[in-house]
Amino acid sequence: MFTVKCADDWGYFFDRLDNSEKEKIAKKIDRLAFPLKARHLRHSLPYFVVEAGQYRIVFEQTGNTRILVFVGNHKQYEKWPLEHRL
């Protein structure tokens, strides 16, 4: 079992979504408390990615804690690592 937390700027990404997409993403976030398959973010960064429809949820895992750092559609996801200089 994992503890799921949000990064400080998580609201910036999540609040910009419409309500129907927020519901779909919230269901996927609920599943993050349990083990599930996630792939590593490209560019060898220490983040993992899960998909919720056309949206990507990026999180960092340390021990039994998963910290949500980004959510966005596939186009926003492509630009995110470069824009935020991770």
Which residues, 6 or more positions from 25, have their beta carbon under 8 angstroms from its beta carbon?
A: 14, 17, 52, 55, 57, 71
Per residue in 36-86, pLDDT (tens digit) is 988 887 666 788 999 998 999 999 999 999 999 999 998 888 887 766 654
Q: Is the dihedral of CA 67, 78, 29, 21 positive or negative?
A: positive
Task: Report, as an integer, the average pLDDT of 6-26.
Answer: 90
Task: Report, as an integer, the average pLDDT of 12-17.
Answer: 89
45 versus 28: the higher-pLDDT residue is 28
What residues make up the domain containing 47? 3-83
pTM: 0.87
Domains in the chain: how many in total? 1
pLDDT confidence tier of residue 4, bands split at 50, 70 and 90:
very high
What's the CATH number where 61 sits?
3.30.2310.20
Instruction: Specify the 3-state DSSP secondary structure of 69.
Output: strand
